[in-house]
Structure formats: C-alpha cells, structure tokens
Amino acid sequence: MAFGVDSSGQCVVGEVICDSDVAKIAVLGVPDVPGVAARLFSNLAAVGVGAEMIVQSVMRGQMNDIAFIVKQSLLGEAIGICRVFSSEVGAQGVTFDTEVAKVALKGDLIAGCPEIPSQMFSVLAGCRINIDMIAAASTVIACIVSSGDMEGAVSALSQAFLR
C-alpha cells in the first residue's frame, strides 16, 4: 500500500516539516462558559504571544482543558499570563512542557485523501513515537512529539510519504 497517494495514484504530500522551537502549555480545568477561550487568547495576543495547535478537550463536568503551543522564547511570558488567567477564572492550574517538537505533513491535496491521518499515525506508532497533540487543516496534519523523537519522526515520515 502506497502512503500519501490519492485514488488516482497522485502523491498528495509535498513535504515533511518540523519545528523544535516550540513548547506546549495546558490550562487545566477551565470552566466551560462562553468567552473563556477568547479571554485567554486575547490576553496572550495583547502581549504578542501567538498560539498554534489550539486544542480544547472534551468537557468533563463543565470543565475543559485547553492546550496549545508557543515559541520557546515566549514561554515565560505565556506561562505568566496563563497562571493569572487560571486564577481569575477558577481553573485547576497550568502545566507546560519544553521537551516537545512539531512534525507535520504538508500538501495542497491532503484533505482529499482521508487515509493520510491513519497512515501518518501508523508510521509514527511503528517507530514507537508517541503523539502528544494532533491538529489538522486542509493542507497540513501536525503532531506534537517528544523533542528526542523529532529526527526519527521526520526520517520515517519522509521515507513513507515522499517520493
């Protein structure tokens, strides 16, 4: 079975990309009320902290976790903002991880090939690489992995998807 190929045999993955200059932040136990995410990301944006791969978990008892990545150089500022926010809204706390990296498949036709996510995740699992976060858009599927696994992930994904 060829990975990253659509029904006509066309390769839909154009490149494998990575970024080791990221850190993951999670605000835990955020009350599930309208506007809470807007408030958090407005506070971050007000000081120039951009967030990527924003993931809100499934609600548990009117609470959610919100996780995202930032550039490592902005981590201290982002953590400070998140801790103040957490206290103000009555969240359970803030956690972070600096030993992460982003790996992604990129291609204009990825959305038209529904097998790509399972193929990507299978390649990473075959290398015993655990996925911490996943985000997808029409042209990119990105995963957060341990920074120590980034090179192996890029190599395995390149071998599997790039022709």
- Give 4's contacts (C-beta < 8 A, 6+ positions apart): 11, 12, 13, 105, 107, 113, 116, 119, 160, 161, 162
For the chain, the domain total comes to: 2
CA distance 157 to 2: 13
Residue 104 belongs to a domain with what CATH number? 3.30.70.260
Report the distance separating Cα 100 and Cα 104, nearest Å: 13
Q: Which one of 98, 121, 146 terminates a domain?
A: 98
pTM of structure:
0.90
Tens place of pLDDT for every residue, the chain, 163 residues? 568 777 777 778 999 999 999 999 999 999 999 999 999 999 999 999 999 999 998 767 789 999 999 999 999 999 999 999 999 999 999 999 999 999 999 998 898 888 999 999 999 999 999 999 999 999 999 999 999 999 999 999 999 999 7
Q: How far apart are CA 65 and CA 58, in angstroms?
A: 8
Which residues constitute the domain of residue 52? Answer: 22-98
pLDDT (0 to 100) of residue 10: 75
State whether 38 and 105 are in the same domain. Answer: no
Same domain, 30 and 89: yes
Helix (H) or strand (E) holding 86: helix 75-89
